[in-house]
C-alpha cells in the first residue's frame, strides 16, 4: 500500500506537467507572436519596410492559433509597410489587397495612429468602398427564457447584401436563420422549438455569412458560443383513475340469500292455512283451507324474486367518498400539467458569445 502511495506522489508532478502543457504552449505561442509583432513594428519605425513586411507575414503564416487582434495588427503592418509615406517604397496594389482582406473580416477596422498618414487613410477608405465587408455585433451574455426566448446577432455591411446564420456543434446544424436584403439585418435563434430545448450544454460554432446583393462576393465570420441549457424534465401524470380504490355505492344485492327466508315465510303461510280454524261449530264442520299450499308457494316465489331483483340500498357516504377521490384525481392531473407548463415557460438557456471574429 505504501509503495502505491509513493508511486502516486512521484507521478503527480508528471501529471500536472501534462495538464499544464497545453496551457503553457498557448501562452508561449502568444508570446512568440507578440514578439514578432513588436519586432515588425520596430522595423517599420526604423523605415525598414521590407523587414517589417517579412516579420508580419510570419505571424500570418503561423500554423498555431493567433487571436483576431494579433491577425488584424499583422495585416495592418503588412499594408502600412507596403504603402509608406515614401513614394519609391510604395506598393499600392499589395497594400490595397491586404486592406480589402482586412475589411472583409472587420468592416470597422481602424489603422492605429502610429501607422496612419493621409495616403494610407485614403487607401483604407477605398478598401471599404470597393470591397464587401460585414460587421457582426451581439451581446456577450444572452438568456433565452421559455418558448419565446431568442438570441440575436446584428449584422451591418458597407453595401446591400443578404445574411445567413448557422449554429453548429460538430457536423450537426442546430439552428439557422436568414435576413432580408439590406445594409443591416438581425439574425435570431430560439432557445426552444415545439416547447423543447434546442440546445444542450456545450460548445457551439456560430457562422454568419454575408452575400453581396449582386451575388459576386461572399464573406463569412465565425464565433464560438458556450451554452448552458439544463435538461427539461417533466412530471408524469396518471392517465387512468384506479377503479380498485372506488367504494361500492350500494349495499350488496340480496340475491340467493332470499331463498332461505322464502322457504320459512312460504312454509309458515302454508302451516297457518292448514292449522288455523274458526271458533265454535265452524271449527269442526269446515275443513282447512285447501289453498294454503298455493298461497305459501306464491309467497315463497315472490320472496325469492324480490331477493334477485333487489339492487341494494344506496350508500351516500361511499358516493361522497368516490366523488372526492375523482376530484382529487382530476386535480392531480391539472396540477401536473400546470407544473410541466411552468417548467417549459421558465426554462432558461444561457448563451455566452465570444466577441472576437475569426
Q: What is the pLDDT of residues 71-128, one digit of tens each?
A: 899 999 999 999 999 899 999 999 999 999 998 888 888 889 999 999 999 999 999 8
Contact 220, 208 (CB under 8 A): yes
* 22: pLDDT strictly greater than 70: no
Distance (Å, whole) CA 50 – CA 115 = 15
Q: Which of 103, 110, 120, 111 is nearest to 159 (CA)?
A: 103
Percent of the chain at pLDDT exceeding 70 = 72
pLDDT score for 3:
45
Distance from C-alpha of 273 to C-alpha of 293, rounded to nearest angstrom: 8
Domains of the chain, start order: 29-130 (1.25.40), 134-231+349-353 (2.60.40.4070), 243-344 (no CATH)
- C-alpha–C-alpha distance, residues 281 and 114, integer Å: 153
pLDDT value at residue 318: 80
Q: Indicate whether 312 pLDDT > 70.
A: no
* Dist. CA 96–CA 91, nearest whole Å: 9
State yes or no: pLDDT of 297 exceeds 90: no
Q: Output 283 or 41, whichever has higher pLDDT.
A: 41
Torsion angle defined by CA atoms of residues 73, 75, 77 and 79, in that order, rounded to the nearest 10 degrees: -150
pLDDT at residue 132 above 60?
yes
Q: Which of 79-93, 195-209, 212-226 has the lowest mean pLDDT?
A: 212-226
Give the mean model confidence (pLDDT) for residues 346-350. Answer: 96
Confidence of residue 63 (pLDDT cuts 50, 70, 90): low
Q: Calculate the dihedral angle through the C-alpha atoms of 281, 286, 288, 292, rounding to the nearest 10 degrees.
A: -120
Share of the chain residues as helix, strand and coil, in percent rounded to the nearest 5 = 50, 25, 25
Distance CA 19, CA 37 (A): 29
Q: Which DSSP category does 120 fall into?
A: H
Instruction: Flag whether pLDDT at 254 surpasses 90.
Output: no
- When comparing pLDDT for 65 and 172, which is higher? 172
How far is it, in rounded angstroms, from Cα 346 to Cα 230?
Answer: 12
pLDDT at 6 over 50: no
Give the global pTM. 0.66
Q: Which of 100, 60, 71 lies closest to 83 in space, CA to CA?
A: 100
* DSSP assignment of 249-260: SBPPP-GGGGHH
Amino acid at each position: 500500500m505504501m509503495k502505491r502511495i509513493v508511486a502516486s506522489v512521484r507521478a503527480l508532478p508528471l501529471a500536472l506537467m501534462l495538464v499544464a502543457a497545453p496551457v503553457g504552449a498557448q501562452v508561449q505561442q502568444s508570446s512568440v507572436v507578440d514578439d514578432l509583432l513588436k519586432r515588425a513594428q520596430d522595423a517599420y519605425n526604423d523605415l525598414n519596410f521590407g523587414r517589417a513586411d517579412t516579420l508580419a507575414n510570419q505571424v500570418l503564416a503561423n500554423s498555431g492559433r493567433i487571436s483576431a487582434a494579433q491577425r488584424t495588427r499583422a495585416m495592418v503592418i503588412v499594408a502600412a509597410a507596403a504603402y509608406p509615406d515614401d513614394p519609391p517604397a510604395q506598393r499600392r496594389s499589395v497594400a490595397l489587397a491586404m486592406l480589402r482582406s482586412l475589411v472583409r473580416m472587420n468592416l470597422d477596422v481602424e489603422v492605429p495612429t502610429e501607422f496612419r498618414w493621409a495616403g494610407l487613410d485614403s487607401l483604407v477608405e477605398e478598401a471599404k468602398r470597393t470591397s464587401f465587408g460585414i460587421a457582426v455585433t451581439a451581446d456577450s451574455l444572452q438568456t433565452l427564457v421559455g418558448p419565446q426566448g431568442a438570441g440575436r446577432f446584428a449584422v451591418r455591411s458597407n453595401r446591400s447584401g443578404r445574411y445567413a446564420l448557422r449554429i453548429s456543434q460538430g457536423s450537426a446544424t442546430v439552428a439557422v436563420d436568414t435576413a432580408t436584403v439590406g445594409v443591416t439585418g438581425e439574425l435570431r435563434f430560439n432557445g426552444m422549438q415545439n416547447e423543447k430545448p434546442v440546445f444542450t450544454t456545450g460548445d457551439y460554432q456560430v457562422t454568419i455569412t454575408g452575400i453581396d446583393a449582386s451575388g459576386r462576393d461572399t464573406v463569412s465570420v465565425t464565433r464560438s458560443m458556450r451554452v448552458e441549457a439544463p435538461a427539461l424534465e417533466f412530471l408524469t401524470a396518471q392517465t387512468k383513475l384506479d377503479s380498485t380504490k372506488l367504494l361500492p355505492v350500494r349495499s350488496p344485492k340480496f340475491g340467493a340469500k332470499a331463498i332461505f327466508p322464502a322457504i320459512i315465510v312460504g312454509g309458515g303461510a302454508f302451516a297457518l292455512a292448514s292449522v288455523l280454524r274458526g271458533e265454535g261449530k265452524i271449527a269442526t264442520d269446515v275443513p282447512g283451507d285447501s289453498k294454503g299450499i298455493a298461497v305459501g308457494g306464491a309467497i315463497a316465489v315472490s320472496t325469492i324474486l324480490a331477493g334477485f331483483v333487489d339492487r341494494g340500498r344506496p350508500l351516500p357516504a361511499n358516493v361522497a367518498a368516490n366523488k372526492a377521490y375523482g376530484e382529487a384525481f382530476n386535480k392531480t392531473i391539472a396540477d401536473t400539467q400546470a407544473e410541466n407548463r411552468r417548467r417549459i415557460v421558465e426554462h432558461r438557456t444561457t448563451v455566452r458569445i465570444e466577441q472576437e471574429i475569426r
